[in-house]
Amino acid sequence: MRLVIDSADTKWIKKLVDYFPIDGVTTNPSIVVKEKKPFLPLLREIRSLIGDDKDLFVQTISTDAKGIIQEAESIVNAISGKVVVKIPVTMEGIKAIKHLHSLGIRTLATTVYTPMNAFLAAKAGADFVAPYVNRIDNLSGNGVKVVEEIEAIFRKHELKCEILAASFKNVQQIQQVCLAGAHGVTAAPDLIESFIKIPSISSNVEDFKRDWVSLYGEEHLTIEAE
């Protein structure tokens, strides 16, 4: 199952890649704008932090298929390593996904709100779909249920497309989509860190260390050969 950082903040990316088993980084126009850095240098900096073997997801801006295709080709030519082009599931977007698939350019269909959005994208040749879990919930829907239904459709009809669930407000939602059959999640850095940032863990570790030092007087385990 994939764990992808949903951010263009290079400080966070560097930290999370160092500590956790991260599979890639995903960006979108809003995320990139927050960093207030030149676009292409920022992407190349991210690439240098994650290496060429991890996926870097980059979104197009154009709203017409021709423009989307041109931007996608420019993106994959400008950035080294494994690149996935993110394309919204509009009619023009689906048309672009079809064409890019024929060129061998990997795509992720984003802004997915319904199972049928995902079905069309997968049929068009998208490698990934990204259902917006929390945004679906905010529209009085059920984001986790949508992920579950997409997984059922893909599995039943043998569609070779991965579900990379997105848009989360808490870890519970992420856990639920994992159980619902998502092939991966994209999450903000603070949410990824919170997977393990639990006060009880720190308290347990301190208890273990205190008990050890109380008897052996040393803060480190030292094994001497006999």
Active site (catalytic) residues: 86
Contact (Cβ atoms closer than 8 angstroms) between residue 180 and residue 148: yes
Helix, strand or coil, per DSSP, at residue 73: helix
Taking Cα atoms as reference points, which of 130, 185, 147 lies closest to residue 4?
A: 185
Burial (Cβ within 10 Å: 0-12, 13-18, ≥19) of residue 211: exposed
Contact (Cβ atoms closer than 8 angstroms) between residue 79 and residue 44: yes
Q: Diameter of the chain by CA atoms?
A: 73
Helix, strand or coil, per DSSP, at residue 7: coil
The two three-digit tokens of residue 194, written as one number: 């919170």
DSSP code at position 82: -
DSSP code at position 170: S
